[in-house]
Structure 1
Amino acid sequence: MIFEALKAFLLGIVEGITEWLPISSTGHMILVDEFVKLQVSDEFLALFLVVIQLGAIMAVLILYFHKLNPFSPRKTSVEKKSTWRLWGMVLIGCIPAAIIGILFDDWVNEHFYNKVTVAAMLILYGIVFIVLERRNRRRLREAEASLALPHGRHARVSNELIAQDAEAAVFKITSVDDIDWKTALKIGAFQVLAIIPGTSRSGATIIGGMLAGCSRTAATEFTFFLAIPIMFGWGLVKALKFIAAGLAMTTTEIVVLAVGILTAFVMSVVAIKFLMGYIKKNDFTAFGWYRIVVGVLVLAYFAFETMGMLP
């Protein structure tokens, strides 16, 4: 049991870090499982890989509790109304993924949960991130060039303001509170892409958000919030299917699930804080290159394994 709990601890670390960084948590979990296999039933493993995400969701709820709480006594009536509106946009954004996920969950599990698909999606969306961020940088430079660059001792402060104005010109939505229902639905449509392992739910929605006119910060925060009903719902569906099949967890499986969820929660707190600080000064290009490198390494590894060139 202890050894399996240690494996769950490792998987929880991977889940907590990769759930929020746009590098595909499910893809990494599938790949890690190739090397660190839990001694559990196949049915429980399928449940574990989804339900462990509840720990990641709890991190979002705690870190953004005040922002997401419409009943907070510290909020004015206008702020409470804005919070309810934000939840409305989140629910609208979840509609496409909820419909497609329920209809095609089992089919996707059967056909796409494999290392080749994961590697291909890692590479494909890595390229998309790089191309998109190059376009964004070009547009920001053009916006900044259209504004007068000041000189003198106040130049630094003025240039910072120009950079903010340029971002506002390129990204029409700079705050998650300004997302309307049309934008939410567009982002939700991109979230559907994440049903394919290796895509990254956060990666797909961040890309969708930026293409829909959101800044990196707004797109990333909305991605966090979109995950709450989707991942809770997905976890509930998996649990109900597990129970409906007449299955029950062993003592070891219960311990494995508890360790995985707790570890995912702690690491998610760290990952979310890191990402929000990182994108204030950087873009997503580095994550794009990471995805490509990992995807190529995965394809190479399993190609060599198939040829019998690995022990």
Structure 2
Amino acid sequence: MTYWQALLLAIVEGITEFLPVSSTGHMIISSALLGIPVTTFTKLYLVVIQLGAILSVLVVYWRRFFQSFDFYLKLLVAFLPIVVIGLLLKKHIDQLLESVATVGAMLLLGGVVLIFIDRLFPQQKPQEGGHPVTTPSFREALIIGLFQCIAIVPGISRSAATIIGGLTQKLTRQAAAEFAFFLAMPTMTAAAAKDLYDYYKEAHAKGIELSNLFSGHEIKLLLLGNVVAFVVALLAIRLFVGFVSKYGFRAFGIYRVIVGGLLLLMLGFGIDLKLV
């Protein structure tokens, strides 16, 4: 992987991590178009640079992390389902990460859902008493966490799945999006930690010491990717929340249908988009 390839992937990650368009799907597509070889490191890179993106949540919403202890408990409740499902289906997930066809199909299907989601869940749907719901209960947090599990399939979008989960629990668009951002922090940190551990285990089995786990070039790539993803995601979060609060999710649905449809058409016409 070159520095330019790493830079472009980090920009894609920063833009798409919190948009309901599937950051993993877009990085798989970008990797295929850039001709990046599938190696243990490149797979790790796609996961680890998400740490830079999710760190932007801590910067934008740092005041929210000084809320009551219930806030962290709700995040934990929402996080637990993906831990169980992720551990059970890890091998299958890794195989799907190499499938551009899966990404195309899921982008298309998810796009159709987003086109109609605003009609199903109008903005500012009130709870009893007439006040909009901005904070999930423990039960609602669990349901949102179960929705997040759908996103183990590349192309679904973790952000889209959790936001839709929040909307089903009558959260406002903004509140649903922000809870999805918060939930990304433990979810993606755990995913990166697991992949780093697996990477270490594989290297250790080959007799590679911890101090030699990454080459100097690979360390620079990881640093570059995380810094770029952080800066770009910082801008993307601010723009996204304002946009969905005002206009909803239809535009993202149309975009997903177009991209997913084009991918499937290209594959149907025999254009090779497999990761090389």
User: Structure 1-normalised TM-score?
Assistant: 0.80
Establish whether residue 135 from structure 1 lines up as the match of residue 132 from structure 2: no
CA distance in 2, matches of 1:19, 1:171: 35
Deviation at 1:292, TM superposition (A): 0.4
Task: Answer whether contact 1:194 1:201 (CA < 8 A) is retained.
Answer: yes
The answer for the alignment partner of 1:24 in structure 2 is 22
Establish whether residue 113 from structure 1 lines up as the match of residue 78 from structure 2: no
The answer for the alignment partner of 1:103 in structure 2 is 88
* 1:82-137 Cα deviation digits (max 9, x unpaired): xx211111110001001111221122212453011000100111111122222234
The answer for the alignment partner of 2:164 in structure 1 is 207
Task: Check 1:180–1:99 CA distance in 2 against 1; reply closer, same or farther (3 A cut).
Answer: same
Count of residue pairs brought into register by the alignment: 264
**Structure 2 regions of 5+ residues with no counterpart?**
none
The answer for the alignment partner of 1:293 in structure 2 is 258
Deviation at 1:175, TM superposition (A): 4.8
Deviation at 1:57, TM superposition (A): 1.1
Instruction: Give the alignment's Cα RMSD to 1 decimal.
Output: 2.1
CA distance in 2, matches of 1:57, 1:105: 22
Deviation at 1:302, TM superposition (A): 2.3
Match for 2:44 among 42, 47, 52?
Answer: 47
Establish whether residue 13 from structure 1 lines up as the match of residue 38 from structure 2: no
Q: Compare CA radii of gyration and give the structure with the larger one.
A: 1
* 1:165-214 Cα deviation digits (max 9, x unpaired): xx4259988454x3111000000000001110000000000111111211
Task: Answer whether contact 1:173 1:215 (CA < 8 A) is retained.
Answer: no
The answer for the alignment partner of 1:268 in structure 2 is 233
Where 2:87 maps in the other structure, the secondary structure is helix
The answer for the alignment partner of 2:35 in structure 1 is 37
Establish whether residue 168 from structure 1 lines up as the match of residue 166 from structure 2: no
The answer for the alignment partner of 2:109 in structure 1 is 124
| Runs of 4+ that moved beyond 6 A | 170-173
CA distance in 1, matches of 2:236, 2:130: 27
Where 2:121 maps in the other structure, the secondary structure is helix
CA distance in 2, matches of 1:202, 1:183: 16
Task: Answer whether contact 1:13 1:263 (CA < 8 A) is retained.
Answer: yes
Task: Check 1:38–1:67 CA distance in 2 against 1; reply closer, same or farther (3 A cut).
Answer: same
**Structure 1 regions of 5+ residues with no counterpart?**
71-79, 141-163
Task: Answer whether contact 1:55 1:265 (CA < 8 A) is retained.
Answer: yes
Establish whether residue 4 from structure 1 lines up as the match of residue 7 from structure 2: no
The answer for the alignment partner of 2:215 in structure 1 is 250
**Identity fraction in percent:** 38
Task: Answer whether contact 1:4 1:252 (CA < 8 A) is retained.
Answer: no
